[in-house]
Structure 1
Amino acid sequence: MMQILQQQRAEQSPVQPQPQPEHGAQPQVPRGNPVFREFCRMNPPTFEGQYEHTEASEWLFRMEDMLEDLDCTPAEKVTFATRFFRGSAS
């Protein structure tokens, strides 16, 4: 009987807990995400962390315009846009 139980235990795959995202962690975009690839083909602008209002507003306007037509969630849109932060913005 003990041998059967040990064999059953060995055959069962162990249940691994799903990793929980850290509080405040940015959601990860799968590398193979076709919507993200489509977004990248649009050649989105980068944001370098400019403090000038007009530059930041222009970047935001262009990003919103590009993201508007994509078939993705609002959270994905934020993730996609923040992938293009550079310099002091990142």
Structure 2
Amino acid sequence: MSWKGRIDKSSKETHADVCGAHQSGSKLQFQLRRMSYYWPKMVQDSMDYAKKCEACQYHANFIYQPIEPLNPTVAYWPFEAWGLDLVGLITPK
């Protein structure tokens, strides 16, 4: 197997693992180093791999998202808003 094939396989296995979590390229590189992998362009390859992953793009930080004003719910007097959860008859076995 070529080096490129081993790099792709190790990146894919680490990224799809339970600890991968589709976080970012830097996290992928950190996980690969923890698993005793190393190659000279590992940081760049990890970043490129994360850029190709659709789930990573979906869960990435929204740094460039425009700021929207918050619209808090304001109670004008105490106990203005009440909530009540109703439960039917509970029959123990």
Q: Same fold (TM over 0.5)?
A: no
Please report the TM-score for the alignment, with normalisation by the length of structure 2.
0.29
Higher relative CO (Cα under 8 Å, sequence separation at least 6) belongs to: 1
Task: Point out the structure with the larger helix share.
Answer: 1
TM-score relative to the length of structure 1: 0.30
Who wins on radius of gyration, i.e. which is larger? 2
